[in-house]
Amino acid sequence: MNRWIQLLFGIVSYLLFLATIAYGIAFFGNLFVARTIDAAASVTFAAALPVNIGLLLLFAAQHSGMARPGFKRWLARVIPPFLTRSLYVFTSSAALIAIMALWQPMGGVVWSIELPLPRHLIMLVYVLGWGLMIWSTFLLDHFELFGLRQVWCEFRGRKCVAPPFATPAAYKYVRHPIYAGWLIVVWASPVMTVSHLVLAVGITAYTFMGIRLEEIELARRLPYYEQYRRKVPMLIPSLRKRLLERADR
C-alpha cells in the first residue's frame, strides 16, 4: 500500500505543477481569468507592499532553501530519498499558488503599450518565454526533474539512475534557459503596473541569487562545470563567445 501512496503523491505533485503553470500563464499574462497580476488595487500601497514582499521572500526561501545540499540531506532522513523531488515540486507549486492567490495589486502604471502590433509582439514574446521554460525541462529529463521517474522506478522496484550532466540544444547557448524563460515571462508585458514591476524586480533578484547558489553546488559536484561556465553565458546568448569557441576548434 505504501508504494501506491508514494506513487500517487508523485503523480498528484506533477498534476498540481501542470495546473499551476496553466493558471500562471493566464495570471501573469492577464488572460482569461478575472483576477490577474495587473488587477485594480483594492488596498493601499502601504498595506499591499509588505504582503507582496513577504510572498516573494517565501517563494525564494522555498525554492533555494529546499535546493540546498544540507536541507536535502536532512530531508532524506525524514522521508524516502526518492520522494524528495516530488515534495520539492509540490511545495514549489504551493509557493507559486500563494503568490497568485494572495498577491495584492498596488495600482499605478509604469508603461502601457496601446498599439495593436507591438502589444501582439510582446504577448508573443511572453508565450515564447513559457515555451522556453517548458522545452528546456524536456532537453534534460522532464520526468526526472519533476519527480515522476523516481517514484515510478521505486514502484516498479528498479534502480533509478540520475541522468548525466549534458548541454543539449539551448544549453549550448545559455547555462540557464529555464531561468531565462522565467525572466522573459515576468518582464514581457504590454502593461506594466507597479504591482507587476515589484514582482518582476523581486523575481529577477531571486533568479540571480538562485543561479549563484546553484552554480556553487554544481561546481563542487562536477569538475567540468567551471569550464562550461566560462564558455557559455548565463542567460543571454553571446555571439562573441560562440565565435571564439569556433576559432579554438
The per-residue pLDDT for range 98-120, each reduced to its tens digit, is 999 999 988 889 999 999 999 99
Residue with C-alpha cell 488596498? 43
pLDDT at 47: 93
Q: Which phi and psi (to 5°) does residue 109 adopt?
A: -115, 125
Which region, left, alpha or beta, applies to residue 108 given φ > 0 means left and ψ of -120 to 50 means alpha?
left
pLDDT beyond 80 at 94: yes
What number of other Cβ atoms are within 10 A of residue 243's Cβ?
Answer: 10
Going along 81-145, which residue ranges are E strands? 109-112
Q: Residue 196 is placed in which grid cell?
A: 507587476
Three cell numbers written together for 105: 495589486
Average model confidence (pLDDT) for the chain?
91
Q: How confident is the model at residue 13 (pLDDT cuts 50, 70, 90)?
A: very high
pLDDT (tens digit per residue) in 162-221: 888 888 999 999 999 999 999 999 999 999 999 999 999 999 999 999 999 999 989 998
pLDDT score of 242 more than 60: no
Q: What is the pLDDT of residues 199-211, one digit of tens each?
A: 999 999 999 999 9
pLDDT at 7: 94
pLDDT of 225: 92
pLDDT of residue 76: 86
pLDDT of residue 184: 97
* pLDDT computed for residue 247 by the predictor: 44
pLDDT band at 223 (very low <50, low <70, confident <90, very high): confident
CB distance 226 to 219 below 8 Å: yes
* Residue 46 confidence (pLDDT) above 80: yes
Average pLDDT over residues 16-34: 95
- 171: cell is 544549453
- 16-26 in b/e burial notation, b at 16+ Cβ within 10 A? bbeebeebbbe
pLDDT of residue 245: 55
**Torsion sign over Cα 108, 113, 119, 121:** negative
Q: SS3 helix, strand, coil % of the chain, rounded to 5?
A: 70, 5, 25
